[in-house]
Structure 1
Amino acid sequence: MRFLSQLRIGPRLAVGFGLLLVLLIAMGGLAAKQTGVIYDALDYYTVNTTPSLESVRVWESRSDRIRMLQAQHILTSSDSEMAALEAAIQKATEELTRAVAGYEKLLSNDEDKRLWQDVIATTNAYVVGWADLKAISRQTAGNPAKTEEARQLFVGKGEALHKAAAAAIDKEWEFNVKLAKQLADEGAVTYRHALLAIAIACSIAVAIGIGAALLIARSIAKPVQEAVVVARTVASGDLTSRVDAQGRDETAQLLQALGQMNDSLSTIVGEVRESSESIATGSGQIASGSADLSQRTEEQAASLQQAASSMEQLSSTVQHNAESARQAHQLAREAADSAARGGDVVGHVVATMQGIAESSKRITDIIGVIDGIAFQTNILALNAAVEAARAGEGGRGFAVVAGEVRLLAQRSAIAAKEIKTLIGDSADKVEAGTRQVGAAGQSMTEIVAQIQRVGLLIGEISNATAEQSSGIAQVGTAVGQLDHVTQQNAALVEESAAAAESLRLQAARLAELVRSFKLNPQAA
């Protein structure tokens, strides 16, 4: 622990993390080595084992194909088919030979080489045996004896050679399968060993890491706890504590700084205590003056507010008068217009009455004409009756007609006289009405003139009232602005007074808080 306390926190942590990094590098190297072993096994399986199995599969498929083509060659009798089958057998034989020869570069060990040599020997014998079988199979066309000989050779010696080659190929297949299983088993063992080694290395690293972490944490936590105790002591207002810092690391420097801070705070708080008492006294005087100024400003603001209210009421009254005058002027104009329209109507009535009088006169003249016609008709009817009476029996009918005509003429004359009398009365009445309407029209003209003069007077009153309202509004605006400024001043004075009172309270609170600190006798 003493060794660690002489180191700074940075190097101390560097030692701990460096130790963990060394352990991690060792674990990584071990894991890489084991992974390399597993990779080599997998790579060999991919590069050698899988291609070997594929080659063996090709051998087997080509061998079986050759056997099938040989059987077809024996059974056919066509030369063209035999030639095609021989070409197919030759191609399959070449593929089989190339596949067997290409396996040489995939040999794994001596056993694999021995099995490969057996495959070469048996496949070569099988290929050579085809030459004998082909020679006999060419002679089977129309020759049952040769056909039977070829069949015997195919199922006898040929079958034996094919089975020998197939057996060698199967052994090679089994060898490669066994080799693949062996590689898989070795990979599993290597994997288990790698897991075990990594688990052991991790356990060792964790144990060492926990030990280093505990040592480093204790070397840092203990001084920090001491610093916390000092800070809490200072926070509680006790500035009398003494700090004993040991070591050269950051925590020791922190403790030394806390001790210096404690001494500085003790000195500063002593000075602040004296200053806060002086501030409290001055702020109390400022608060008292601000309160007096605020009261006087509020009184002035109230007076201006009353004046502004009175001006608003006066302005409202004048505006109401102006509006009433404007409405009266408007009504006067409308009354003048209505009177003018009434005068026009009366004029039209006068003209109409005069027309009626003239029409009555014309009707009277016409009635006079009708009366004259009736009178003449009566005379003519009378003359006709006289002449009819002179005519005796021959004019009796004419006399009756003349009597009726005379009777109608008399009735027409009576009716015409009555109509003339009625029309005369109507004409007199129309003339009297015309005189009255003329008098009414004269009166309406005088009324219109009087109303127009009244409208002019009301208009002048309205204009004067509007000018008066504008002047009062300007005065009201000025008073309102003055009131607004005074209100702002009052608000500022109130804020100033509130600020002064708050300053006084804060100064008193500051003095009270400063008195709560415990100081060394020399600092106090």
Structure 2
Amino acid sequence: MWKWMDTSIRTRLTFLVAVFAVMIALVGFAGITTGRATNDDLRAVYLEDAKGLDLLAKDTINLLWARIHLTNFDSVSSPEELKKLLADAHTMVNSANDAWAQFMKLPIPEADRAQLQAADAARTKFVKTALEPAIAALERSDLTTYRELNTNLVPKLFVDYDTALGPLVGARFKYGQQRFDHSQSRYAMSIWISGGLLAAALVLSVVARGVLGRTVVRPLERAIQMFERMASGDLATRMEGQTTAGRRDETARLMHAVSSMQTSLQQIIGQVRTGSDSIASATKQIAAGNADLSQRTEQQASSLEETASSMEELTSIVKQNADNARQASTLAVSASDIAVKGGEVVGRVVDTMAGINESSRKIADIIGVIEGIAFQTNILALNAAVEAARAGEQGRGFAVVAGEVRSLAQRSATAAKEIKELIGDSVGRVQNGSTLVAEAGTVIDEVVVAVRRVTDIMGEISAASEEQSSGIEQVNQAVTQMDQVTQQNAALVEQAAAAAESLEEQAEALRSAVAVFRVEHA
């Protein structure tokens, strides 16, 4: 018995299933054997008895109908009716012959062979010596022979044939009854065998239920109770009634696995409790840090907003400076062009003053010539006056003219002298003006150079202002992006704070859930 308990549940179940399978096979074999024998009996009853009786009935009925057709000859009123009557009689005889031929082919016990031979002889005599000759006489219209046969021989021989069939039919019925009794006895035996096997199977099933209930069901029930305690949170209660100690079947391994699982669950729940406490503490710190970080991020976002606003103002100012520098560069270019034109005008003025100076020199030379002419005229007038004085009274008029000419020459000399002085003064002033104009031209050239330098510097300032404006615009965009990123970071920090708070709630819920379990304390 102990070795039976030491085997695995699979082996036990396999053994029980094999036993039940053998019993079922025996019951099935008995049923199949009985059924096959019964089928053979029924087949024999059908082929040898029922079918034989049916063929005998067909033979007898067809022969009887043939006799009736012959007897109805006196009621025939036309050749067509006679012809039809004879044809029907032949058909009946042929059908009877076919049925009898099939009956003769059926198997028959040797004990019934004599009755069969007697019946066959009586039938052959009736058909060959009475029925067929009577039909042939009608066909020949030999009414005398027909009436003699139909009146005497046909009834007598048919009675003889019917008398011979009686023992044969009785023997067939008796043989069928014997087969039926034999089949009934086999059926009763199969019932007893099947009943015995079923009773044995029932007893075995009761015994198997008791053994399986004690070795499988009870340990499973204890395991279920243990699982229910674990499900309710009781991990401290150990499994009681270790009836599987020393056994090596599946239930023993199951109980050992449940005990190991209980120990593992106690360790896991203890670790989860410790971890949940640590998680709760860490989530609180994370939540506090996220709140502080959220506040700092909001401050940083506010500072970035102010910086972005200042950068926008600075960008506007730099753009305005760039516009002013661009306008100043344009004005400087215009001033440079005007200065160049002024230099050109001053150059032309210098050339004009040089021409005037040259003309003044020429006028001075002409005035010198006029002074020479006046001087010579004065000398000539003086000589004329001297000559007039010498001439006396005749030369008085000439002397007057000479005096006038001399006076005119003196006035011309005086005027020429004054003009010369004025021309000399004008030439000096023109020379001074030419010098000043030359100096002005030099200054204008220097102004043009300076204006060009100013124009270049203003262009560089304008380009630098544009680059500065572009750089400040990029800085402004970067600050704007930083502001957006900071806003997003602030939103993420808020989400992280919310997640930390949710994690803290979940950690608290985990602690509450783990607190349901009772474990052994070390």
| TM-score normalised by length of structure 1 | 0.53
The equivalent residue for 1:154 is 150
Deviations 1:277-301 (A, max 9, x none): 4443332221111122334556778
Deviation at 1:513, TM superposition (A): 5.9
Name the residue aligned to 1:497: 497
Give 1:304 shift.
10
Aligned twin of 1:282 = 282
| Deviation, structure 1 residue 44 | 0.9
- Measured at CA, do residues 102 and 304 of structure 1 come closer, stay the same or move farther in structure 2, by a change above 3 Å? same
Match of 2:46 in 1: 46
Match of 1:258 in 2: 258
Aligned to 1:168, which of 164, 170, 174?
164
Q: Which residue of 2 aligns with 1:317?
A: none
Correspondence for 2:31: 31
Range that drifts further, 493-502 or 271-280: 271-280
- For 1:28 and 1:93, the matched residues in 2 are separated by 50
Counterpart position of 1:115: 115
SS in 1 for 2:108: coil
**Aligned counterpart for 2:210 among listed residues 207, 214, 226:** 214
- The Cα of 1:94 is off from its aligned counterpart by 7.0
**1:238 alignment partner in structure 2:** 235
Give, in whole Å, the separation in 2 of the partners of 1:88 and 1:484: 120
Evaluate the alpha carbon distance shift between residue 259 and residue 95 of structure 1 in structure 2; reply closer, same or farther with a 3 A threshold. Answer: closer
Amino acid at match of 1:263: T
Give the 3 Å change call, closer, same or farther, for CA 77–225 of structure 1 in structure 2. closer
**The 10-residue stretch of structure 1 (80-89 or 149-158) with the greater mean CA deviation from structure 2:** 80-89
Q: Is contact 1:107–1:113 with CA below 8 Å preserved after alignment?
A: no
Counterpart of 1:53 in 2: which secondary structure?
helix
Root-mean-square deviation (CA), in Å? 5.0
- On the 8 A contact 1:74/1:150 being kept in 2, the answer is no
CA–CA distance in structure 2, aligned partners of residues 93 and 499 of structure 1? 111
State whether residues 273 and 511 of structure 1, in contact with CA within 8 Å, keep that contact through their aligned partners in structure 2: yes
* Residue 380 (structure 1) aligns with: none
Query: What amino acid is aligned across from residue 280 of structure 1 in structure 2?
Result: A
* CA distance in 2: counterparts of 1:506 and 1:157, whole angstroms: 120
Select 1:224's aligned residue among 220, 234, 237: 220
Consecutive unaligned residues of structure 1, counting only runs of 5 or more, are: 309-476
CA shift in 2, pair 1:495/1:99, >3 Å: same
Give SS of 2:7's match.
Answer: coil
Shift of residue 25, structure 1, vs aligned partner: 1.0
- Structure 1 residues 483 and 156: alpha-carbon distance in aligned structure 2, compared to 1, 3 A threshold: farther
Measure the CA separation in 2 of the matches of 1:479 and 1:185.
116
**Structure 2 counterparts to residues 332-347 of structure 1, below 5 A:** none
1:19 maps to 19
Structure-2 change in CA distance of 1:262 and 1:63 (3 Å): closer
Displacement of 1:161 in angstroms is 1.2
Query: Which residue identity is paired with 1:51?
Result: K
Give, in angstroms, the shift of residue 89 of structure 1.
Answer: 7.2
CA gap of 1:222–1:510, structure 2 versus 1, over 3 A, is same
Q: Is the 8 A contact 2:215 2:251 kept in 1?
A: no
Indicate how the Cα distance of structure 1 residues 61 and 507 shifts in structure 2: closer, same or farther if over 3 A, else same: closer
Q: CA deviation at 1:151?
A: 2.8
Shift of 1:28: 0.7
Tell me how far apart the structure 2 counterparts of residues 512 and 72 of structure 1 sit (CA, whole Å): 114
Name the aligned partner's letter for residue 241 of structure 1: R
Q: Could you say if the C-alpha distance between residues 172 and 297 of structure 1 is closer, same or farther in structure 2, counting changes exceeding 3 Å?
A: farther
AA in 1 matched with 2:33: K
TM-score (normalizing by structure 2): 0.53
Partner residue in 2 for 1:329 = none
Mapped to 2, the partners of 1:287 and 1:249 lie a distance apart of 54
CA distance in 2, matches of 1:131, 1:277: 121
How many residues align? The count is 353
> 1:16, 1:213 within 8 Å by CA — same for their partners in 2?
no
Matched, 1:198 2:194: yes
State the secondary structure of the residue aligned to 1:59: helix
**Retained in 2: the 8 A contact 1:280–1:508?**
yes
Q: 2:396 maps to which residue? A: none
The offset of 1:117, in angstroms, is: 2.0
Post-superposition Cα deviations, 1:27-54, rounded to whole Å, max 9, x if no partner, equal: 1111112211211122112322243124
Q: CA 1:26 to 1:288, structure 2 compared with 1: closer, same or farther past 3 Å?
A: same
1:252 positional shift: 1.2
Deviation digits for residues 135-161 of structure 1 (CA, Å, limit 9, x no counterpart): 9958997xxxx9567535532233111
Q: Deviations over 1:110-154 (max 9, x none)?
A: 45323322222222332453399669958997xxxx956753553
* Amino acid across the alignment from 1:238: L
**Aligned residue number for residue 408 of structure 1:** none
Contact 1:16/1:212 (CA < 8 Å) preserved in 2?
yes
**Cα separation, 2, equivalents of 1:519 and 1:84:** 112
Q: How does 1:66-85 map to 2 (within 5 A)?
A: 66-68=66-68, 71=71
CA gap of 1:503–1:183, structure 2 versus 1, over 3 A, is same
For residues 172-183 of structure 1, the aligned pairs below 5 Å read 172-173=168-169, 175-176=171-172, 180=176, 183=179
CA contact (8 A) 1:53 1:173 kept: yes
Shift of the alpha carbon at 1:108?
Answer: 2.8
CA distance, structure 2, for counterparts of residue 170 and residue 181 of structure 1: 17
CA distance in 2, matches of 1:139, 1:289: 135
- Give yes or no for contact 2:301–2:486 (8 Å, CA) kept in 1: yes
Letter in 2 for 1:207: V
Once the 2 structures are TM-superposed, how far is the Cα of residue 209 of structure 1 from its aligned partner? 1.8
Greater mean alpha carbon deviation, residues 256-265 or residues 238-247: 238-247
Q: Give aligned-pair identity as a percent.
A: 29
Q: Distance in 1 between matches of 2:132 and 2:495?
A: 130
What SS does the corresponding residue of 1:248 show, helix, strand or coil?
coil
State the alpha-carbon separation in 2 of the partners of residues 284 and 132 from structure 1: 126
Say yes or no: does 1:293 pair with 2:289.
Answer: no
CA distance in 2, matches of 1:94, 1:508: 108
